[in-house]
Amino acid sequence: MALKLMYLTGDPHVAAMAEQNGVDRIFLDLELRGKQARQKNMDTVISHNSISDVKKLREALHTSELLVRVNSMYDGSAEEIERVVRDGADIVMLPYFKTVREVEDFIRMVDGRAKVCLLCETPEAAENIDAILSVPGIDEVHIGINDLHLGYHRHFMFELVADGTVDRLCAAFRKAGVVYGFGGIARVGEGMLPAEYVLGEHYRLGSQMVILSRTFCDTAKITDPEEQRARFADGVRAIRACEARLAAEDAAFFAENHRIVQEKVQAIVKKIKASKGLC
């Protein structure tokens, strides 16, 4: 089954363009609480979207789903979730949770009016995943390997794929019968860990969704609409072609792909450590 491709944007015009060129799900990020402190000194983008963007995106989309990542649980969560659901989110995502209680409260606030997606990105959640998955009402879980690798004090996010952490979590998701995915991918042929190897890991692990990274089509740098359109069309086409090849491969292929990923990750980590004077 083809992976569900997700693209982060708060721009209705970009969202419509992504939809028209094969993106399955538009991802609106409203999370701000604690994010800047967690990701300081990293090459990440802190989104500054508005809750009013939910309705604008809903009106711009026709076939793609709308996923909205709200803030981690706080005193205003009920009001925030109410507005997001009312304005048309198909899926509401809870980030940076640590406890069963947070998940229970979140599901109660969504109240069956949208799908529930958990973003597993803290060691506390990862280490207590079986208890968390026992809570009724979870539709999907995505592993946020960026924050999760920081929580485990690793140097590179894909270390969690190489060392078995993602394998363990995916096995728990399969057992619980929830839809799951992890991380993001660059364009085929690009990325510190090239996207084709990452896609191989998604197929090996039975993942069903992935985020298209900022570099897939960086609309802050590529401003011409026709160039943006071409980037989406060509990029999605290349991913689907890669998936078609992967769908025909056997277990031996995926075992070898995993070995190569481990080797490449080890080399990347070595370089990162050297650049920081750690080895």
The DSSP-derived string for 206-242 is T--EEEEPGGGS-TTT---HHHHHHHHHHHHHHHHHH
Q: Alpha helix locations (H) across the chain?
A: 12-20, 35-38, 53-60, 77-86, 100-110, 123-127, 129-133, 145-151, 159-162, 165-176, 195-205, 225-247, 251-275
Task: Answer yes or no: pTM beyond 0.75.
Answer: yes
Cα 72 to its chain centre, rounded Å, is 16
Contact 192/145 with Cβ under 8 angstroms?
no
How far is it between the farthest Cα atoms of the chain? Answer: 52
- Cα Rg, the chain, nearest whole Å: 18
> pLDDT tens digits for 18-71?
999 999 999 999 999 866 565 555 555 556 789 999 999 999 999 999 999 999
Count Cα neighbours of 29 within 13 Å in the Cβ-side half-sphere.
15
Per-residue pLDDT tens for 199-250? 999 999 999 999 999 889 998 898 999 999 999 999 999 999 999 999 999 9
Residue 246's pLDDT is what?
98
**Domain count for the chain:** 1
**Domain range for residue 165?**
4-275
Mean pLDDT across 87-105: 98
> What is residue 44's predicted lDDT score, i.e. its pLDDT?
52
Distance between CA atoms of 240 and 94, rounded to whole angstroms? 29
- Find the CATH number of the domain harbouring 199: 3.20.20.60
**Parallel, antiparallel, or unpaired for β 91-94 and 140-143?**
unpaired
For 143-191, how does the pLDDT look when each residue is reduced to its tens digit (9 = 90+)?
999 999 999 999 999 999 999 999 999 999 999 999 999 999 999 999 9
* pLDDT computed for residue 10 by the predictor: 96
* Cβ neighbours of 31 (radius 10 Å): 19
